[in-house]
């Protein structure tokens, strides 16, 4: 696994839900608790030796948005799933790492690429885990849409 950075921005780290949402404990006891893999994976990645605390050293960025957990829990602590995802999307777009050109000279990804490798779009080196499938009649792609990079404006 390459060196990776974990976002700790409050809008991107949903781990607060474990302590502040009563529905989290209920979810943990339900049949769908196996879908809490995104929670377990976050905890494993936080302890992984490949984790770096310096974004400039990272080749991968982990976004600890617990999409299934958030969607399933719904309203909590004055927030909603859609509101949490909207704040996460805004925080990602504001991050200098999410929209950064992965091919800029001196970036770790540029140094590791071969000259003939295709150019990656911004945000391609970001990882969001979700253990959900079709929840509430929505596929994961529809639920993740707010987190996708905005398209480049046409010249």
Tens-digit pLDDT profile for residues 42-97: 999 999 999 999 998 998 999 999 988 898 899 999 999 889 988 998 998 888 88
Residue 78 or residue 117, greater confidence: 78
Asked if 12 and 88 touch (Cβ cutoff 8 Å), the reply is yes
Residue 6 or residue 128, greater confidence: 6
Distances (CA, A) of 106 to 1, 60, 64, 75, 117: 21, 15, 27, 43, 16
Q: How far apart are CA 81 and CA 69, in angstroms?
A: 9
Q: Please tell me the predicted confidence (pLDDT) of residue 110.
A: 47
In this predicted structure, the answer to whether residue 117 has a pLDDT above a threshold of 50 is no
Q: Please tell me the predicted confidence (pLDDT) of residue 128.
A: 72
For the residues 19-30, what does the mean pLDDT come to? 90
């Amino acid at each position: 696994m390459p060196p990776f950075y974990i976002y700790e921005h409050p809008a991107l780290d949903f781990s607060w839900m474990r302590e502040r949402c009563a529905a989290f404990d209920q979810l943990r006891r339900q049949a769908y608790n196996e879908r809490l893999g995104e929670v377990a994976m976050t905890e494993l990645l936080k302890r992984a030796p490949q984790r770096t605390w310096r974004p400039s050293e990272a080749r991968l960025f982990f976004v600890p948005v617990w999409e299934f957990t958030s969607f399933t829990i719904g309203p909590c602590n004055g927030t909603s799933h859609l509101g949490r995802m909207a704040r996460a999307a805004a925080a990602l777009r504001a991050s200098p790492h999410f929209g950064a050109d992965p091919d800029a000279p001196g970036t770790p990804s540029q140094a590791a690429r071969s000259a003939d490798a295709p150019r990656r779009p911004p945000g391609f080196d970001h990882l969001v885990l979700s253990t959900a499938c079709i929840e509430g009649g929505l596929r994961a792609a529809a639920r993740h849409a707010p987190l996708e990079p905005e398209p480049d404006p046409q010249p």
